[in-house]
Structure 1
Amino acid sequence: MFKWVTLSLIVLTLCFSGFASAEKPNIVLIFADDMGYGCAGSYGDTGLVPTPNIDRLAAEGVRFTDGYVTGPACAPSRYGLLMGAYQQRIGVQGTWDAYVNLQDGKPRDTPENNRVPSTHKMVHQTLSGAGYRSAVVGKYNLSSYPKTTFDEGHSVMMFAGDYFPDETGYYGGVGYMLAPGTYKRILWGPERPGDEYLTDRLGRQSVEFMEREHERGRPFFLYLAFNAPHSPMQAKKEDRKVVEHLETEATKMYGAMLHSMDENIGKVLDALDRMGIADNTIVAFASDNGPSFAYRVDWPENWPRELLGSAGPLRGHKGMFTEGGIRVPYIIRWPDGLQAGQVYERPVSTMDLYPTFCAAAGIPIPETTKLDGVNLLPYLRGEVEGDPHDVLYWSIRNRGAVRQGDWKLYVDGKPQLYNLANDIGETTDLSKQHPEITRELNQKFQAFLEMQPPKLYKGKTPFD
């Protein structure tokens, strides 16, 4: 099922660059959950809550204006991120494809035998094979859950997790499958003094892992995958003061969850400073998709139905192939390897992080692992001009999008064409004015669909 065909988008399978550090850099990959493009101050300052630590990363690193995920929903986005390749190549198109073998809470996949073939090594496996110690802290959302292919796992979740523990100390959805009907409560907590907020727990466990590996003198790869600000809508009472200015209760809840995530990103950055290893540590930050509506919560009748978070100037939200669903905050900081304060304005993808990390560490990609991602370091250092990708693709079933340069084809029924340089909000369909571009991009999109194996999930979905 794992078939690879030659397309113009397939690029480097070895990732070396002209830069080589005397020591392998530590790598911290931070992935937010359902955080919109406009939710960080450095991406538009929409008036939600301050995000000083995300903004600090942007100021001290490279901020990408056109950073994309590989899918507009949690699971496919995470497959593409860790594989460094289009997740459609293994039959993962939508979130449902990550659950097809996880029925009744009984995983049928194992880390050794799952839908990502053993011949294709994910980024953490490649790094671990080269001497790194890898850990996932938080939301995994890949097959074989609750087991993972990382060296360590802490507070591992599939789709979501309760932010406060129950009276026995367990966090719903952490370490096991969520039971139907769970995480519906909207809550300002804790209900019991001393209960640890899950976002704080993820921050603490991340710092503990980094400190332990630093003491042992070996490089580490930390994948800190927050479930914030994804539902359930549960926040800390002490953060109410931070969101007093927000109008609705739902927005206040979202803002408080976002604030806590930013605080814990700050704890990670402070720990790197304290250990004296910040300069040779790569910290990458992105969100898994655009902003969303709350899932499965007991939404009060007197609350207006509203999008939680902001896509800024972009159109759409999670689950959509408009920019608001797939363009996200995207930052890389590496003081020893990249000039601070850069703003990079050409299209990149989260699948580029895999070869970029390997290039920074001087690690070759395994021969049987085929990437669609591109090593970004030569582009960020001015050594190579032009776009890292000739074309980028997105799809679920027969819907999706194609971006080539500033042109974007949006396919949901009749194809629509937009020029993102002049129309970031995708307000004016130019397909009639430019039929040749529309036809060319649509042909490329159809070729992308044709190279894919069948979807894994055989049931009905909102995309059918």
Structure 2
Amino acid sequence: MKSVCLFLVGLFLSLSASAVVAEKPNIIMIYADDMGYGCAGSYGDTNLVPMPHVDRLAAEGARFTDGYVTAPGCGPSRYGLLLGAYQQRFGVQHNRDTWEKIPSWPTETAESNRIPSGHLWMNQALSTAGYTTALVGKSNLPLYPNTTFDETWSPMTFGGDYFPDETGYYDGVGEVRHYRGYKRIIWGPERVGDEYLTDRLGRQAVDFIERNAHQPFFLYLAFNAPHSPMQAKAAYKPRVAHLETEATKLYGAMMISMDENIGRVLDALERMGIDDNTIVAFSSDNGPSFAYRVDWPEDWPRELLGSAGPLRAYKGSFYEGGIRVPYIIRWPGKIKAGQVFEDPVSTMDLYPTFAAAAGAQVPETTQLDGVDLLPYLDGDKTGLADRTLYWWWYDQGSMRRGPWKMVSYGEQRELFNLHDDIGETTDLSKKHPDIFKEMTSDYDAFRASMPPVLHPHPQLMK
């Protein structure tokens, strides 16, 4: 009888342990590339193309009106996301710092690189909690094309061609090739059967989900869309015929493809029966952009691709249009559907949020600047409305505290009230000198507290 009781106790403990494991949510982080604040209907702009799957995430989760990245450029923005901290803590300010070799340091390894060994990447922290991890798409990380993820598919740094060449090779994908190629403007494919890169990333993401549906997983799906080169599927031309210029049509078609593949991911979660137990977060790495390094026809107007909505400026700028982005988190049954969260949040916050949801223990050597958003979404905590956030590279940057925003370009500094002036049209530095002085002092102190940049820019270091 005693042995039977011991067996039943052991079985109960085993089943309880299995239940705990099962309760760990799967986590998917979807990162768009150069998608503006106003490019999705859920953020108020309907002049481009429908994005029903992004809008579905917003309707079924929490939409953040004041969601920020840590930099207005691809590389440093991704460091802030995956490190959960200001990337400047590691000497990373601009894109060059994310992938170029460090001067006087010819070799980086997994054990010795520009990120201190004690600071875990987001995926590493989740690995310690039993998660299988994968990166699909754009990396911008040291050791490229190798990563610290369990699986890595189609890694890129700057970007990649959306259609393969005649050998099946996607220029920029899976090899250390920076700023080469990516020039041609194409309505493709040029060969029957060639797979569009955005579809390839979606396919690889779905494959990972299907293979790991029985265990906790973390998927970082980093699209390079709608970043240039401007290459889209010709079959989508009728769906963008309403757009005025050829460049905007290409951009719109690229956005449609990305949204469709987000839909493929959501469908896979439903098909595998894990939809309710999966966190899906969506954001963009910075604001909308002009096309980079493409063979721009002389008779095409030079135009911004995408929309910043009511915000000022675009990628590369420290005005709102460069750093405020679409920002959505969906977790069915855990996060109230249709919630609109208006306090300032940062992509730095996703690391501690995911770690808390996963029960991951973050070591003291990992210094996180973000906050766990779950208690704020539940209403258990308040206090984010007046938080302070900083942005900075070289001699440019900005700072937000509550409704106040200070922007710095060299010696020129301005003050705005975002609650009254979301478009940053009126400089209030002379009208509110005390606020301006305090923010300027705190901003300078933040900069002074950071280590030197890895790759100084002589013309911009002031």
Shorter-chain TM-score category? over 0.9
Kindly provide the amino acid, as one letter, of the partner of residue 380 in structure 2.
E
Query: What does residue range 343-354 of structure 1 map to in structure 2 within 5 Å?
Result: 343-354=340-351
Matches within 5 A, 1:363-402: 363-387=360-384, 390-402=387-399
Q: Which amino acid is the alignment partner of residue 450 of structure 1?
A: A
* Deviation at residue 285 of structure 1 after TM alignment: 0.1
Q: State the Cα distance separating 1:369 from its structure 2 match.
A: 0.6
AA matched with 1:241: P
Residue 15 (structure 1) aligns with: none
**C-alpha separation in 2, matches of 1:388 and 1:220:** 32
Q: What residue in structure 1 maps to residue 176 of structure 2? A: 177
Retained in 2: the 8 A contact 1:315–1:425? yes
CA distance in 2: counterparts of 1:364 and 1:95, whole angstroms? 30
Equivalent-residue separation in structure 1 for 2:451 and 2:303 (angstroms): 37
Local SS of the residue matching 2:154 = strand
Aligned-pair CA distance for 1:389: 6.4
Alpha-carbon shift at residue 390 of structure 1 (Å): 2.0
Instruction: Tell me how far 1:265 sits from its aligned partner.
Output: 0.2
Distance (whole Å) between structure 1 residues aligned to residue 209 and residue 111 of structure 2:
26
Deviates more, 1:316-325 or 1:174-183: 174-183
Q: CA shift at 1:242, angstroms?
A: 1.1
Give the distance between the partners of 1:111 and 1:388, measured in 2 at CA: 38
TM-score w.r.t. length of structure 1: 0.92
Give the Cα separation in 2 of the matches to 1:461 and 1:199. Answer: 37
1:53-452 to 2 correspondence within 5 Å?
Answer: 53-101=53-101, 108-178=107-177, 181-214=180-213, 217-387=214-384, 390-412=387-409, 413-452=411-450
Partner SS, residue 332 of structure 1: strand
TM-score by length of 2: 0.93
1:463 positional shift: 7.3
SS at match of 2:442: helix
Please report how far the alpha carbon of residue 178 of structure 1 lies from its aligned counterpart in structure 2 after TM superposition: 2.5
For the structure 1 residues 127 and 75, does the alpha-carbon distance in structure 2 shift closer, same or farther, using more than 3 Å as the test?
A: same
Is 1:25–2:25 an aligned residue pair?
yes
Over 3 Å counting, the alpha-carbon distance change for 1:179 and 1:167 in structure 2 is: farther
- Alpha-carbon offset, residue 269 of structure 1: 0.4
Aligned equivalent of 1:457: 455
Change in 2 beyond 3 A, CA 1:462/1:34: farther
Give the length in aligned residue pairs. Answer: 441
* 160-169 or 92-101: bigger deviation: 92-101
Say if 1:374 and 1:389, in contact at 8 Å, map to a contact too.
no
2:407 is paired with a residue whose SS is strand
CA distance in 1, matches of 2:122, 2:180: 34
| Residue pair 2:145, 2:175 contacting (<8 A) in 1 also | yes
Distance apart, 1:458 and its partner CA: 2.9
1:45 Cα deviation after fit: 2.3
Task: After TM superposition, give the deviation of residue 98 of structure 1 in Å.
Answer: 1.4
> Could you say which residue in structure 2 is the equivalent of 1:11?
none
Paired position in structure 1 for 2:17: none
Q: Which residue does 1:13 correspond to in 2?
A: none
2:353 counterpart SS class: helix
Percent identity between the two aligned chains: 66
Q: CA deviation at 1:355?
A: 0.4
Aligned mates of 2:328, 2:179 — CA distance in 1 = 36
Distance (whole Å) between structure 1 residues aligned to residue 329 and residue 358 of structure 2: 15
Q: Is the contact between residue 293 and residue 306 of structure 1 (CA under 8 Å) also seen in structure 2?
A: yes
Cα 1:348/1:304, change in 2 over 3 Å: same
Q: Does structure 1 conserve the Cα–Cα contact (< 8 Å) formed by 2:349 and 2:371?
A: yes
Would the alpha carbon gap of residues 422 and 389 (structure 1) be closer, same or farther in structure 2, given more than 3 Å must change?
A: closer
Distance 1:142 1:222 in 2: 16
* Kept after mapping to 2: 8 A contact 1:108/1:144: no
Contact 1:402–1:410 (8 Å) recurs in 2: yes
- TM-superposed CA distance for 1:21, in Å, is 9.1
Residues 179 and 402 (structure 1 numbering): CA distance in 2 closer, same or farther, change over 3 Å? Answer: closer
Separation in structure 2 between the aligned mates of residue 236 and residue 278 of structure 1, nearest angstrom: 30
Cα distance, 1:32–1:82 mapped onto 2, change above 3 Å: same
Show the 5 A alignment for 1:31-46: 31-46=31-46
Instruction: Provide the rounded CA distance (Å) in 1 between the counterparts of 2:39 and 2:242.
Output: 15
**Deviating more after overlay: 349-358 vs 176-185:** 176-185
Partner-residue secondary structure (3-state), 2:283: strand
**Residue identity matched to 1:67:** G
Aligned counterparts of 2:263 and 2:306: Cα–Cα separation in 1: 20
Q: 1:148 to 1:354 in 2, by over 3 A?
A: same
Q: Is the 8 A contact 1:354 1:373 kept in 2?
A: yes
**Counterpart of 1:57 in structure 2: which amino acid?**
L
Deviation at 1:179, TM superposition (A): 5.8
Structure 1: unaligned runs, 5 residues or longer: 1-19
Q: CA contact under 8 A between 2:344 and 2:387: conserved in structure 1? A: no
Letter in 1 for 2:360: I
Question: How far off is 1:336 after superposition?
Answer: 2.8
Check conservation: 1:107, 1:145, Cα contact below 8 A: no
- Range with greater deviation from structure 2 (282-291 or 361-370): 361-370
Q: Distance in 1 between matches of 2:107 and 2:235?
A: 42
How far has the Cα of 1:292 moved from its partner?
Answer: 0.3
Q: 1:139 touches 1:158 (CA, 8 Å); kept in 2?
A: yes
Deviates more, 1:387-396 or 1:221-230: 387-396
Q: In structure 2, what is the Cα distance between the partners aligned to 1:21 and 1:279?
A: 15
Structure 1: distance between partners of 2:289 and 2:245? 16
